[in-house]
Chains A and B, each alone.
Chain A
């Protein structure tokens, strides 16, 4: 099953390199909140592919030279990018409308050209539809080498440019202050996006290449709060999805490369959405439950301390589980002690919040934070002097 041919191995290698480059480049797009610009760029490659084919045939060539097609796609992709930029800066249209307009119009023009090609030299155009969804079946060795080499070159460029791009994505003002040319960095980022799109056309296809730029950074964001790590993790996830997807796709028929790579990438995303610590769904649910438990516990303890009856079922259950009340609802020894401490804490907080001079500190009151974590022992002692004698026997631990 994993006995890949030489071409398939090259494609898998190229897809992995491309995935790494896409993940890192996409991170900068994602962090600048411009992820969908890549959608316009990728759709704008179609007329270029078709035009390059027509030109190459008109010059007497065969028309299917991958390098020529890639060069053509780069030209119209750049035109599409310029059109988006022009529409957003020179007219009142928002970026999303500009993206949608450019992607649909360029794609429509590309389809017109494809039908021209169909009538022009019947049969020869068969390869061009492959650029829509990517197809690595029957790829020439020279093509595989171009893709692998292209992936490596883009990756090297990303490594070279990642520092200014990170800065521009996180702190544009600071980047400008240190003398960077923000416009040029943005242009470089977009140039890289264009390069990965062009290289990825043959493998993933122009409709799905955006997924390789968007999904890995979004996935990586679940695992870390640090920009460098987002880029590195996104690169790793992208490379893994690219390589793994290409291998799976080569292992059986009817498994198109592009969709398999995208779905592999999405599997990583779904797993992260559910499992990631801190930002994942399970972690978030656990945090929520823990918060609820602490609120109920605190309110239950305050009620016990002031001898109010506790009727809320969940509160009673939590108090009982912690061994703070007996089955009949009467506080245990430990329960009375904890309740007394909670009441002291609450009184100290009330006093602190009533004092306007403590502004910031008082804002940290949420009914859960023990005051010991906010104030020093002598500050607490001062508070306690103003509080007067504590009515319940506090100090028992």
Chain B
């Protein structure tokens, strides 16, 4: 395929999808190890009411208010889960179930009640995003990558996603040792004076930021899939956290690129005319990778359990 078609139409969505996948998979590694995988699920459900409230307050569909709204909703949800868990003495899974369904229901109701018919804001968009529409109209081919005028017209989602992805990397790099120790042995981390509470909260906040940024670009379904599937597959490949993170980044990248290509070109190869949902396909590919690692991964069994049992 020619650069003239690929660079403006496919390169930006692939890059955005990949960056979003990596930004979610990185904190996802720790969430999976800490058995908090479903926090990602909860965060991406509650982003909807946050976005709707932001829209109702500002009256416009613009990025920053919505991201702040979604992040605010994520914090409200975490506070509600914690509150219900403590005040009611309810196990965390059930508390989470109560909170995210209620907030999501509230978001849907607000959306139906408010007059949003003339703006592009609906539940479907929130669920599966619109990766295919993030095109770079100023590009004419590979040479545009060096052209400052054309680079000015890059989709803003790409820049934002790159910044968030870098931020997530920086967080992991800065807090690597405490994160690692507190994830595997919280008791020990506390005895050597680490503040595991704030650290755990910081991890959730970083995950929420990644989720909200990715959510805006690619929809919540990829967010949940990327929080969990690449880290879970990577966990079945190795016992070392460093290598697990490297695997998860690789799996996230493969899912995003392969998923986008299959969604965009797969139907054409099969003789159909229209592309299918890229977000859904990326999630599906990550699931196929997980299934393969669960069947053949070298470290798929529990410790002490004979391999291949």
Report chain B residues within 8 Å CB of A392: none
Report chain B residues within 8 Å CB of A119: 267, 272-274, 276
Contact flag A100-B224 (CB < 8 Å), given A92-B236, A133-B123, A215-B101: yes
* B90 in contact (CB, < 8 A): yes
Residues of B in contact (CB 8 Å), total 68
Residues of A in contact (CB 8 Å), total 61
A255, B221: Cβ atoms under 8 Å?
A: no
Report chain B residues within 8 Å CB of A157: none
Closest to A253 in B: B112
Contact flag A207-B104 (CB < 8 Å), given A255-B112, A273-B84: yes
* B113 in contact (CB, < 8 A): yes
Q: List 14 A-B contacts (CB under 8 A).
A: A36-B96, A92-B303, A101-B228, A104-B287, A105-B225, A106-B287, A108-B225, A114-B277, A211-B98, A215-B102, A255-B113, A256-B109, A259-B108, A263-B105
A99, B38: Cβ atoms under 8 Å?
A: yes
* A4 in contact (CB, < 8 A): no
5 shortest interchain CB distances as A-B pairs:
A108-B283, A105-B287, A111-B280, A211-B101, A104-B225
A97, B228: Cβ atoms under 8 Å?
A: yes
Report chain A residues within 8 Å CB of B124: 129, 132
Q: Is the interface of A mostly helix, strand, loop or mixed?
A: helix
Chain B positions near chain A (C-beta within 8 angstroms): 32, 35-38, 40-41, 45, 84, 87-91, 93-98, 101-102, 104-106, 108-109, 112-113, 123-124, 127-128, 221-222, 224-225, 227-229, 231-232, 235-236, 263, 267, 272-277, 279-284, 286-287, 290, 294, 297, 299-303
Select A33's contact among B91, B101, B281, beta carbons within 8 Å: B91
Taken together as a complex, chains A and B put the C-alpha atoms of A92 and B273 apart, in Å, by: 42
Taken together as a complex, chains A and B put the C-alpha atoms of A104 and B24 apart, in Å, by: 14
* A145 in contact (CB, < 8 A): no
* A30 in contact (CB, < 8 A): yes
Determine how close the nearest CB of chain B comes to the CB of A256; give it in whole angstroms.
5
A36, B97: Cβ atoms under 8 Å?
A: yes
Which residues of chain A in 10-46 are interfacial with respect to chain B, using CB atoms and an 8 Å cutoff?
30, 33-36, 39
B300, A92: Cβ atoms under 8 Å?
A: yes
Report chain A residues within 8 Å CB of B287: 101, 104-106, 108-109
* A286 in contact (CB, < 8 A): no
Taken together as a complex, chains A and B put the C-alpha atoms of A259 and B32 apart, in Å, by: 30
Select B35's contact among A35, A94, A211, A255, beta carbons within 8 Å: A94
Report chain B residues within 8 Å CB of A114: 277, 280
A108, B282: Cβ atoms under 8 Å?
A: yes
Closest to A263 in B: B105
Determine which residue in B224, B229, B283 has the highest number of CB atoms from chain A within 10 A of its CB, and name it.
B283
Told that A101-B287, A104-B221 touch, could you supply 9 new A-B pairs with CB distance under 8 A? A36-B38, A36-B97, A90-B300, A92-B301, A97-B32, A108-B222, A111-B279, A114-B277, A218-B94
| B interface footprint on A243-282 (CB within 8 Å = 1, 0 otherwise) | 0000000000011101110110010010001000001010
Report chain A residues within 8 Å CB of B102: 211, 215, 262-263, 266
| B interface footprint on A114-150 (CB within 8 Å = 1, 0 otherwise) | 1110110000000001001100000000000000000
A91, B274: Cβ atoms under 8 Å?
A: no
Select B104's contact among A86, A94, A129, A208, beta carbons within 8 Å: A208
A100, B277: Cβ atoms under 8 Å?
A: no
Report chain B residues within 8 Å CB of A263: 102, 105-106, 109
Determine how close the nearest CB of chain A comes to the CB of B244; give it in whole angstroms.
12
Taken together as a complex, chains A and B put the C-alpha atoms of A34 and B284 apart, in Å, by: 25
Determine how close the nearest CB of chain B comes to the CB of A253; give it in whole angstroms.
9
